[in-house]
Chains A and B, each alone.
Chain A
Amino acid sequence: MASTAATARTTRAAKGLETIAAPRRRPPISKIVGRILFWLLILFILFYTLFPFYWAIVSSLTFDSQLFNTPASYWPSQIDWSHYAYVLRNDDFLKALRNSVVVSVGTVAIALLLGSLAAFALGRIQFRGRTAILYIILSMTMFPGVAILGSLFLMIRGEWFLHTPNLYNTRIALIVTYLIFTLPFTIWVMTQFFKAMPGELEEAALVDGAGYMRVFWQILLPLAAPGLVTTGLLAFIAAWNEFLFALTFTNNYDARTVQVAISQFSGRTQYELPYANRMAASVLVTLPLIALVLIFQRKILAGLTAGAVKG
């Protein structure tokens, strides 16, 4: 597969060199075969990446009676919306959806607020301890959640040295614990955004007598808006997709998120296989993410390579 890309590059390079040195000319038939193989490869890559989600959509739209046909049909002959109707009428699922929105939005809002303040200091102000803080923040982005699961569980239930209320099975517990992976990531990426801005901006404002905070709110933060959108999106996706904490710190639909709901989705009766409903629920919680990703794909690609952090 490696050679296909190399071929394309070689031919591109060869075109440029034609005036300098006569390149070896290949018979056109092999070129055509090469083109066909290349497109087959592209088709295969697309099939590999997209088919599972396509299959989830097809299954969610298939009548239960046809779902268990063998051999399977790859194109639904009739579309059946009943699984979506079932999921959207399911109180538990709707509650879970609301919990997920509240938790993800809450976490992202706090992470962006605290994170951009910290990133402003780390990116624009030279002070002692800056490097140490950056190291701490960076190592936090790679923190394994399971390493603190037990102690967080105790803290959430108020069983530690401070007298805190029992937050077990609340959305607040999830919002606060989700900061573990959203905040360091936000700080890390936003620091790079602030750092990349030209220094004259604030120098000029500071000479004019504006305070640091005014420079931050009125000049730098508006300029950092694209960065805020990117990090906010990535943090939102990470929070929306989180599973371990949501599973451990909740026990009913007062706080359960959609990820936990899907993992525990069952059929209308205990004899019914839940697959089609589960696929409908899966498609419903994934479509908003895919829409966001498609709309903001450029920003997301830039942010992914900037932070190189999955969450």
Chain B
Amino acid sequence: MSASADVAPLPEVSTATQRRERPAGTLGRRRERLAWLLVLPSLLVVLLVALYPLIQTFRLSFTNTRLASARTPRVVGFDNYVDLLREDAFRSTLWHTVVFTVSSVFFETILGLAIALVIHSNFRGRGGVRTAMLVPWAIPTVVSASMWQWMYHDVFGVVNDILVNRLHILDQKVAWLANPATALPAIIAVDVWKTTPFMALLLLAGLQLISTDIYEASLVDGANRVQQFFQITLPLLRPALLVALIFRTLDAFRVFDVIYVMKQFAPETMTVAVYARQQLIDLAKLGRGSAAAVIIFLCIFVFVVLYTRLIKVEEM
């Protein structure tokens, strides 16, 4: 299964396999050298700006290095990790990250699936609705965070205006972001708004791959709509659903922008990425911050391994 199957159908007989069968002569070796030459600049960039700093982050996480400090750093073993995991403040950032990730991915999937199913049916103006879905996706996270910050304003915000003055759902206005109990859910709602369309579009692409014949056949067999959804749509949508889920999980787990713009370093909404940035740069504790960064990396690494297994590079 490949995420690209629906866009770029691979040719039946790939030239690559034809070539592999050829005996490797001088031509083959020259071709191989050319391939490496072409890949080299990109590999160097990846090595320099991603792999090397990553290794450095691991190394720093075992030291007590501080930014711009005259003190010579010392190797402290796992002290940073032990300190972090013992600290309530860090544990609560982990908890916020998990809450953020699980609830935003959950709501995005449900809403995204619902929207995808609605758009999938034939109606006039379908293209227009699909285009509209791209708007929240295209809006920069910083912009969407400031937009919603204004919408959530406790006195003049439009959210309170709709809920209190128009729909009369609430009796009095709520300070959505200032109240520690509602701040994280309010931010999750912003993330859900911003990424649901992306989810819906990915799932829509998956739905369009399902042949209508199957539905017609099931109709002959007397299946009702609920049965059709759970026994045809959902199982056949599974590959697209999985890819979308994993991508969103990875993205949500490292969330920084929306939290930082709306609440900066407030403890009630701080996630691991925000915590890491505060330790690394604002508090100049490179060692400790790197340990927090490594923890995020390791969590994401597990998902990446899962993902690369799912889409099978060899088939490309």
Asked if B150 and A150 sit within 8 Å, CB to CB, the answer is no
User: How far is A293 from B229 in the complex, measured between Cα atoms in Å?
Assistant: 32
Asked if B18 and A146 sit within 8 Å, CB to CB, the answer is no
A213 CB, nearest partner CB in chain B, Å: 8
Which residue, B6, B54, B226, has most C-beta atoms of chain A within 10 A? Answer: B54
Asked if B123 and A38 sit within 8 Å, CB to CB, the answer is yes
A274-292 contacts to B (CB < 8 Å): 275, 278-279, 282, 285-286, 289-290, 292
Number of B interface residues in the complex (CB < 8 A): 125
Asked if B229 and A6 sit within 8 Å, CB to CB, the answer is yes
Which residue, B113, B121, B250, has most C-beta atoms of chain A within 10 A? Answer: B121
User: How far is A69 from B153 in the complex, measured between Cα atoms in Å?
Assistant: 13
Asked if A8 and B123 sit within 8 Å, CB to CB, the answer is yes
A170 CB, nearest partner CB in chain B, Å: 15
User: How far is A126 from B136 in the complex, measured between Cα atoms in Å?
Assistant: 40
Asked if B297 and A243 sit within 8 Å, CB to CB, the answer is no
Q: Map CB proximity to A onto B284-316 as digits: 1 under 8 Å, 0 otherwise.
A: 001001100110110010011001100101101
User: How far is A126 from B16 in the complex, measured between Cα atoms in Å?
Assistant: 5
Q: Map CB proximity to B onto A1-37 as digits: 1 under 8 Å, 0 otherwise.
A: 1111111111011101100110000000000000000
Cβ contact of A144, chosen from B114, B142, B300, cutoff 8 A: B300
Contacts of B276 in A (CB 8 A): 146, 149
**Interface residue A193 (Cβ < 8 Å from any Cβ of B):** yes
Asked if A70 and B165 sit within 8 Å, CB to CB, the answer is yes
Main secondary structure of the interface of A (DSSP, over half): helix
Asked if B250 and A263 sit within 8 Å, CB to CB, the answer is no
Among A41-49, A77-85, A86-94, the stretch in contact with B: A41-49
**Interface residue A138 (Cβ < 8 Å from any Cβ of B):** yes
Among B77-85, B86-94, B99-107, B195-203, the stretch in contact with A: B195-203
> Given A133-B43, A143-B50, is A279 in contact with B150 using a C-beta cutoff of 8 Å?
yes
* Extra contacts besides A21-B220, A115-B42 (5): CB < 8 Å: A118-B43, A122-B35, A131-B314, A279-B146, A293-B135
B166 CB, nearest partner CB in chain A, Å: 8
Interface CB pairs A-B, < 8 A, 24: A7-B225, A8-B122, A38-B118, A53-B139, A53-B147, A67-B156, A70-B155, A133-B43, A140-B50, A144-B254, A147-B293, A150-B286, A180-B46, A180-B49, A243-B141, A243-B142, A248-B281, A262-B146, A263-B260, A278-B150, A301-B130, A304-B198, A304-B201, A308-B202
Asked if B39 and A180 sit within 8 Å, CB to CB, the answer is no
Asked if B212 and A289 sit within 8 Å, CB to CB, the answer is no
Asked if A309 and B247 sit within 8 Å, CB to CB, the answer is yes
> Given A144-B297, A179-B45, A240-B140, is A293 in contact with B117 using a C-beta cutoff of 8 Å?
no
A220 CB, nearest partner CB in chain B, Å: 12
Contacts of A198 in B (CB 8 A): 11
Which residue, A41, A147, A244, A279, has most C-beta atoms of chain B within 10 A? Answer: A147
> Given A8-B121, A55-B151, A199-B18, is A286 in contact with B140 using a C-beta cutoff of 8 Å?
yes
A253-305 contacts to B (CB < 8 Å): 259-260, 262-263, 265, 275, 278-279, 282, 285-286, 289-290, 292-294, 297, 300-305
User: How far is A149 from B198 in the complex, measured between Cα atoms in Å?
Assistant: 27
> Given A71-B161, A117-B41, is A259 in contact with B142 using a C-beta cutoff of 8 Å?
yes
User: How far is A129 from B273 in the complex, measured between Cα atoms in Å?
Assistant: 34
B20 CB, nearest partner CB in chain A, Å: 5
**Interface residue B178 (Cβ < 8 Å from any Cβ of A):** no
Cβ contact of A10, chosen from B53, B225, B313, cutoff 8 A: B225
Asked if B148 and A52 sit within 8 Å, CB to CB, the answer is yes
Asked if B143 and A285 sit within 8 Å, CB to CB, the answer is yes
> Given A68-B156, A138-B313, A259-B142, is A187 in contact with B42 using a C-beta cutoff of 8 Å?
yes
Cβ contact of B316, chosen from A192, A213, A294, cutoff 8 A: A192
> Given A1-B118, A308-B244, is A191 in contact with B45 using a C-beta cutoff of 8 Å?
no
B154 CB, nearest partner CB in chain A, Å: 11
**Interface residue A63 (Cβ < 8 Å from any Cβ of B):** no
B49 CB, nearest partner CB in chain A, Å: 5
**Interface residue A214 (Cβ < 8 Å from any Cβ of B):** no
> Given A203-B15, A306-B8, is A118 in contact with B219 using a C-beta cutoff of 8 Å?
no
Determine the residue in chain A with the shortest Cβ distance to B133: A49
**Interface residue A95 (Cβ < 8 Å from any Cβ of B):** no
A46 CB, nearest partner CB in chain B, Å: 6
